[in-house]
Chain A
Amino acid sequence: MHRDHPVTFPGRHTHGAQAVRPDGRRRALRIGLGGPVGSGKTATVAALCRTLRDEVAIGVVTNDIYTREDADFLLRNAVLPAERITAVETGACPHTAIRDDISANLEAVEELEEAAGPLDLVLVESGGDNLTATFSHGLVDAQVFVIDVAGGDDIPRKGGPGVTTADLLVVNKTDLAPYVGSDLGLMARDAKAQRGGLPVVFTALTRPGGVGPVADWVRGRLAAWRTGGTQ
Chain B
Amino acid sequence: MQQPSCPPPPSRPAAAAALLVLADGRFPAGGHAHSGGAEAAVRAGRITGPDSLEDFCRGRLHTAGLVAAALAAAACAGLDPVELDAAADVRTPSPALRATARRLGRQLMRAARAVWPAPELAALAAARPRGAHQPVVLGAAARAAGLTPHDAALAAGYETVSGPATAVVRLLGLDPFRATAVLARLGGELDEVAGRAVAAAGRAATGGTGELPAASAPLLEITAEAHAAWPTRLFAS
Contact = CB atoms under 8 A, between A and B. Distances in A.
Interface in B222-237: 231-236
Interface residues of B, number: 26
Contact of B26 (A15, A67, A90, A100): A100
Given A91-B234, A103-B28, A103-B110, 14 more contacts: A15-B113, A15-B114, A67-B232, A89-B233, A89-B235, A91-B32, A91-B34, A91-B35, A91-B167, A92-B234, A93-B170, A101-B30, A103-B30, A103-B108
A104 B234 contact: no
Contact of A92 (B110, B113, B170): B170
B110 A97 contact: no
Given A15-B114, A91-B34, A103 B107 contact: yes
Contact of A102 (B28, B167, B171, B231): B28
Interface in B180-199: none
B20 to A, nearest CB: 17
A104 B108 CA distance: 10
A16 interface: yes
Size band of the interface chain A makes with B:
20 to 34
Interface in B96-144: 103, 106-108, 110-111, 113-114
Interface string B195-234: 0000000000000000000000000000000000001111
A65 B234 contact: yes
Which 3 A-B residue pairs are closest in the complex by CB-CB distance? Answer: A91-B33, A103-B107, A89-B236
Contacts of A89: 33, 233, 235-236
A93 B32 contact: yes
20 contacts: A14-B114, A65-B234, A66-B232, A67-B231, A67-B232, A89-B233, A91-B33, A91-B234, A91-B236, A92-B170, A92-B171, A93-B170, A100-B26, A100-B32, A102-B28, A103-B28, A104-B107, A104-B236, A106-B110, A107-B110
B35 to A, nearest CB: 7
B82 interface: no
Contacts of B26: 100-101
A51 interface: no
A96 interface: yes
B233 A66 contact: yes
Nearest to A69: B232
Given A15-B114, A16-B110, A104 B232 contact: no
B6 interface: no
B23 interface: no
A211 B31 CA distance: 36
Contacts of B174: none
A101 B166 CA distance: 15
Contacts of B167: 91
A96 B33 CA distance: 9
Contacts of A88: 33
B42 interface: no
